[in-house]
Structure 1
Amino acid sequence: MDIDFKSLPPSDVYHCLTQTLIPRPVAWVLTENPAGDYNLAPFSYFTAVSSDPPLVMISVGKKPDSSFKDTRVNIEARGHFVIHQAHSGLAAPMTETARALEHGDSELDRIELTTTPFAGFSLPRLVQCRVAMACRLFELKEVGTNRQALVFGEVQHLYVDDKALIEDKKGRLKVDAAMLDPVGRLGANEYSKMGEVLTIPRPS
């Protein structure tokens, strides 16, 4: 089937894209609310962009009422955020934090997760996550008629669970992907767990 996107409304385009661009990593983003507590929300339009400077990007849409999501508002106002990657055991609470709340309400009050100081950074990280990136706002760009926000974050600190780190033959640290057990976003209400890891040497 050949699907012509020009003939579809944006909601149907989203439906097609999110079911075929799979699996997608999920950025579980912690930001600071105006009262000093924390907002937590998942975004699966998420990728690495650059290593010099170390940049990642999340794409943030709007709430059902067309207002800006708290994640965007908080990042623009305070300039810092933490991106986590959830493992499969956290898929349910991660999905729960996608619920639309009033601005300033904290998702952490609704789920049984805890935070711990993120060494050298102004925000904490989630204890239960095996990967976390401490980010400063690098740039925010708006795209499209719906003013979708592309948020570029400069990664200042990276946390990886010690149990997921191994040393390769050259003495470099290597991350054990199976140990991280990251959740991948599929379409609709579906997620993927870590499966078989293929090792294929790249051409020299």
Structure 2
Amino acid sequence: MIIDMDSLVGPQAYHLMTQTIIPRPVAWVLTQNEGGNYNLAPYSFFTAVCSNPPIIMFSVGKKPSGEVKDTRRNIERTKDFVLHIAGSHLAGPMTETARTLDYGESEMAHIDLTLTDDWGKALPRVEQCDVAMHCSLYEIQEMGNNAQGLVFGEIQSVYLSERVATLEPRLQVDAKSVDPIGRLGASEYASLGDIISVPRPE
């Protein structure tokens, strides 16, 4: 089967891409609304970009109405956000936060999770996540016919729970313990199965 991308119309290209570029890591992004409460939303067009400085990128589309999504609106205003890596046990609440809400209505009111500011940053983090990154806005670029917003963030600090990370003999994060959720097509997700270790060539 060979599919010519020019032959696809409407959301067909998106449908094909999300079912073949798999699994995709999910950035679960917390920002602050103008009223002071918090927006929390998942984005699966997400990756690491650079290590010096440490930069990540996630792609933000628009609401069905054509409005800019709340995440981008908040980041443009405050210049910072918290990016979480959710474990597979959080698939339910994470998916719930993908719901389209009016600006200023917090997703936190619809899920049974808690925020904590125990790390002394400008924004809290989701307490139930083992990995959280406090990021500052590096830049936003627009891409494509729909002006998709590519949000580049510089990682300022990282929270790792002791359940998933050790420091001896050097920092090691146990991927199996993190069990990060991976996005597939449609309503499907994946968790980590067997981990394959293949030495890199010298």
Q: What range is the shorter-chain TM-score in? A: over 0.9
Query: Of 188, 191, 201, which aligns to 2:189?
Result: 191
Deviation at 1:119, TM superposition (A): 2.2
* Aligned residue in 1 for 2:51: 51
Q: Take 2:52 and 2:89, find their aligned partners in 1: how far apart are those partners?
A: 33
When the two structures are superposed, what TM-score results if normalisation uses the length of structure 1?
Answer: 0.96
In structure 2, the residue corresponding to 1:163 is in which secondary structure? coil
Residues 93-132 of structure 1: matches in 2 within 5 Å? 93-117=93-117, 119-132=119-132
Say whether 1:78 aligns with 2:47.
no
Q: Partners of 2:70 and 2:90 in 1: how far apart?
A: 22
> Match of 1:132, SS?
strand
Overall identity of the aligned pairs, in %: 55
> Which stretch shows the higher mean deviation, 38-47 or 116-125?
116-125
1:153 pairs with 2:138: no
**Deviation at residue 118 of structure 1 after TM alignment:** 5.3
Q: Say how many residue pairs are matched.
A: 202
C-alpha distance in 1 between matches for 2:57 and 2:76: 14
Q: Secondary structure at the match of 1:162?
A: coil
Question: Which consecutive unaligned segments of at least 5 residues does structure 2 have?
Answer: none
Task: Go from structure 1 to structure 2 and tell me whether the alpha carbon gap of 1:19 and 1:72 turns closer, same or farther (over 3 Å shift).
Answer: same
TM-score (norm 2): 0.97
One-letter identity of the residue aligned with 1:106: S
Query: RMSD of the TM alignment (CA)?
Result: 1.0
In structure 1, stretches of 5+ residues that fail to align are none
Please state how far the C-alpha of 1:72 moved relative to its aligned partner: 0.6
Q: How far apart in 1 are the matches of 2:49 and 2:28?
A: 17
User: Alpha carbons of 1:31 and 1:93: their partners in 2 closer, same or farther (altered >3 Å)?
Assistant: same
Task: Identify the residue that residue 174 of structure 1 maps to in structure 2.
Answer: 172
Extract structure 1 runs of 4+ deviating beyond 3 A. Answer: none
